[in-house]
């Protein structure tokens, strides 16, 4: 009896290239499973961004475009509007890091939510700029030591981090905004459920859907994969609470 198979939305013979213990691989697998379950593979355009998240297109066996740093929501907006203008029913989502989504691309991100663009966004929040070597990002937590906050982030010198899922929930055009994590089985199952729900919002044409995933970055956090997950469970998820901040599908 077969209990597991690689999702068909994952490229055959793709080799894992992320750092050991990095949650990107798991997040991408969950996205692929949901694409399979909703029969979206053949009608999907994925928008990858800059940073570690760009490697999405090396793993997903769907059409992908890479966007300039921070512009994924704008690229997805253009693609989705174009498909609509061509009377083509297509599924468009972005896969971005927190720096991409909530720092350099915050304008594009917030405004696509406000316009209620019928796209979905997966945002990997690992509280630092991973690819460039672990600098302080928009989501780095108070006290977090990074290569550009060597004495720890503080309110006077660096200011405060952004809570993306809560901010996006405030936008009238947002249909769904949730935060989840991947540090244990229960949370992995929940994350997949939220991704699926977000994608279904787009399929139903309900507007902007957003899932922020608290993810580990053991290399830059200087922690073992196991301790990195513990840090998310015990510290990070207390600062960035796991939950659903808006769900229009519950209205009526």
Residues that bind another protein (CB under 8 A): 11, 41-45, 47-48, 50, 54, 57, 60-68, 71, 74-86, 88, 90, 107-108, 110-111, 115
The least CB distance from residue 43 to another protein, in Å, is 4
- Select 112 or 127, whichever has its Cβ closest to another protein: 112
Residue number, 5 or 88, with CB nearest to another protein: 88
Q: How far is the CB of 168 from another protein (least distance, A)?
A: 15
CB atoms near residue 225 (< 10 Å) = 15
Residue closer to another protein, measured from CB, 35 or 242: 35
CB of 65 to another protein, least distance (A): 5
CB of 108 to another protein, least distance (A): 5
d(Cα 218, Cα 225) in Å, to the nearest integer? 5
Question: Nearest-CA neighbor of 67 among 36, 38, 26, 100?
Answer: 100
Of 35 and 181, which CB lies nearer to another protein in the complex structure? 35
Q: How far is the CB of 78 from another protein (least distance, A)?
A: 3
Gyration radius (Cα) of the chain, Å:
17
- Asked if residue 59 lies in contact with residue 24, where contact means CB atoms within 8 angstroms, the answer is no
Of 66 and 200, the one with the shorter C-beta distance to another protein is: 66
Report in angstroms how near the CB of residue 54 gets to another protein at its nearest: 6
Q: Which is nearer to another protein, 71 or 229 (CB)?
A: 71
């Amino acid at each position: 009896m077969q209990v597991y198979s690689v999702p068909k939305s994952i490229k055959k013979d793709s080799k894992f290239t992320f750092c050991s213990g990095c949650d990107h691989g798991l997040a991408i697998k969950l996205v692929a499973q949901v694409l399979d379950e909703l029969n979206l593979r053949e009608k999907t355009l994925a928008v990858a961004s800059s940073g570690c998240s760009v490697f999405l297109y090396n793993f997903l066996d769907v059409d992908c475009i890479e966007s300039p740093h921070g512009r994924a929501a704008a690229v997805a907006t253009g693609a989705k509007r174009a498909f609509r203008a061509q009377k083509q029913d297509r599924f468009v989502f972005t896969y971005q890091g927190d720096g991409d989504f909530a720092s350099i691309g915050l304008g594009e991100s917030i405004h696509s939510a406000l316009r209620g663009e019928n796209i979905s966004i997966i945002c990997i929040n690992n509280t630092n700029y991973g690819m460039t070597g672990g600098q302080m990002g928009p989501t780095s937590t108070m006290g977090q030591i990074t290569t550009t906050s060597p004495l720890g982030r503080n309110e006077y010198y660096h200011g405060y981090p952004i809570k993306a899922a809560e901010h996006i929930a405030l936008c009238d055009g947002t249909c769904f905004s949730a935060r989840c994590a991947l540090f244990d089985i229960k949370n992995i199952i929940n994350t997949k459920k939220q991704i699926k729900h977000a994608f279904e919002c787009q399929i139903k044409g309900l507007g902007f859907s957003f899932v922020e995933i608290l993810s580990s970055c053991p290399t830059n956090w200087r922690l073992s994969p196991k301790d990195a997950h513990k840090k998310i469970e015990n510290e990070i998820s207390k600062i960035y609470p796991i939950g659903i901040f808006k769900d229009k599908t519950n209205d009526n």
